[in-house]
Structure 1
Amino acid sequence: MVDSDRITGAARELGGKAQAALGDLAGDQRTQFEGRYREAQGRGEQLAGEARDALRDAADTAIEYAEDAYDRGRHAARHGARTVTHYVEETPLLALLIAGAVGYGLSLLVHGRR
């Protein structure tokens, strides 16, 4: 998507060049100055539009990366949950012992040894 400042800036720059050229031909310094001023103003608008376009593109790319990371994380969490469920179903006694050991370790961390 092209920013409208790029279009108006290009038109203003072109008009400024034409005005400066007319000032050069006529020998009118005021027209030359105004033309060059409009040309610089148009170039500034173009640069601002280009910067906005670049920021918009960067934001779109960042959103795409975030969506991709979210999808990958969701897939990994689902896969992990299925894997844990499978191992718990296959060896319930071992899973119970591991859960008890983790619970005991957490209680030591929270309450400390007394």
Structure 2
Amino acid sequence: MNEDRIAGTAKDFAGKTENAFGKAAGDAESQASGRAREMAGKAQNLYGQAKDAVQDAADTATDYAKDMYNHRGDAIRDGQDALARKVHDNPIGSLVTAGAIGFALALLLARPARRPPRGRYYS
């Protein structure tokens, strides 16, 4: 919990109290001031909640990245093992897939360079 949430809750409570005193005294100005302070407190509390949520998400992402970095060898090894099992289980399909990828790369790399368009407006 951060200071925005604490201050927002305090303002909200103060606004409710001021509003209640304004109602009891019949003072419309105190009521309006209390409602305004209450709304400002709620807004500040929501802002604090949003900051906490962003901080929690950033902490979770950081922890996940650190975990992946610390166990990168395991992840790479697992991926290699899974690929080896797929190739072992289906060698013909793997060969066809590798050939298709190689063919697509060859088409992309051997394509001639694009020429700029020629014409009246392209000089």
| TM-score, scaled to structure 1 | 0.64
Q: Secondary structure at the match of 2:71?
A: helix
Query: Which structure 2 residues correspond to residues 34-113 of structure 1 after superposition, within 5 A?
Result: 34-76=33-75
- The 3 A distance-change label for structure 1 pair 76 and 55 is closer
Task: Report the CA distance shift for 1:12/1:76 in structure 2 as closer, same or farther (over 3 A).
Answer: closer
Distance 1:76 1:10 in 2: 45
Q: Which residue of 2 aligns with 1:22?
A: 21
Where do 4+ consecutive residues of structure 1 move more than 4 Å?
Answer: none
Q: What RMSD over aligned residues (CA atoms) do the two structures have, in Å?
A: 1.9
Q: How many residues align?
A: 80
Residue pairs, 1:4-23, within 5 angstroms? 4-23=3-22
Structure 2 CA distance for aligned equivalents of residues 23 and 75 of structure 1: 66
**Stretches of structure 2 lacking an aligned partner (at least 5 in a row):** 79-105, 111-123
**Cα distance between partner residues in 2 of 1:64 and 1:42:** 33
Sequence identity (%):
43
Distance between the aligned counterparts of 2:7 and 2:48, measured in 1?
10
Corresponding letter in the other structure for 1:42: G
Name 1:92's counterpart in structure 2: none
Task: Report the Cα offset of residue 70 of structure 1.
Answer: 1.2
Change beyond 3 A, Cα 1:76–1:50: closer
**1:34-86, CA deviations, whole angstroms, 9 ceiling, x for partnerless residues?**
00000000001100001101110110000011011112213456x69xxxxxx
Please, what TM-score do these two structures have when normalized by structure 2?
0.59
Separation of aligned partners in 2, 1:49 and 1:69:
30
Which AA in structure 2 matches 1:52? K
Larger helix fraction of residues: 1
Unaligned runs of 5+ in 1: 81-108
Separation in structure 1 between the aligned mates of residue 73 and residue 9 of structure 2, nearest angstrom: 46
| CA–CA separation in structure 1 for the residues paired with 2:11 and 2:70 | 46
